Amino acid sequence: MKLKLIIPLISAILIGFISAKIVYSFYDELKNNYNAYFLQVGAYSNNDTLNTELKKLSNYVTDKDNNVTYVYVGITTNKSNAEKIKNLYTCKNMDVYIKPVLIDNIEFYSNLEQYDVLLSSVDKESDVLSINEVILSDYKEIVLQS
């Protein structure tokens, strides 16, 4: 009688333990990633085209994935700030794509949240571009370490 009770009890404990490990592993992956928006102006596989396009920009960051180099002109945690930056570049006849990205660097993300507070409170183009320049240089320094 005790054996009939112990086997299901041990099985339930094992199933619960395994389920908890699986759920925790998914949570552990997500808890260290934070939502942000990167404002992409291009993706280039040809270096000559890339260099020509970069001459048109004064402030940007690049990210290379496989043989494609992505060029970003802004980073924010706030969708309305992303739209604000996008509109500035759209007025300059540049196509900007708002790309949702997960950031895993807590130091940069914390700084970005503070810059977003400033960015939300300004409307002048020069102020927006100034704050955006600081954000991009902060990204280069903290995340890209260059």
Tens digits of per-residue pLDDT, 2-29? 777 787 778 888 888 888 887 777 665 5
pLDDT of residue 146: 62
pLDDT of residue 27: 61
Burial class (CB in 10 A: 0-12, 13-18, 19+), 58: exposed
- Residue among 89, 145, 139 nearest 112 (CA): 139
pTM: 0.74
Burial class (CB in 10 A: 0-12, 13-18, 19+), 94: middle
Mean pLDDT on 48-68? 85
pLDDT of residue 49: 82
- Interval 38-54: pLDDT, tens: 999 988 888 888 888 88
- Residue among 45, 137, 123 nearest 81 (CA): 123
Mean pLDDT on 114-139? 91
- Position 144 pLDDT exceeds 90: no
pLDDT of residue 30: 53
- Position 70 pLDDT exceeds 80: yes
Query: Is the Cβ–Cβ distance between 80 and 114 less than 8 Å?
Result: no
pLDDT of residue 104: 85
Mean pLDDT on 62-83? 91
Q: β-strands 61-65, 34-44: how paired? A: unpaired
pLDDT of residue 28: 58
pLDDT of residue 84: 93
pLDDT of residue 26: 66
Residue 44: φ, ψ to 5°: -125, 135
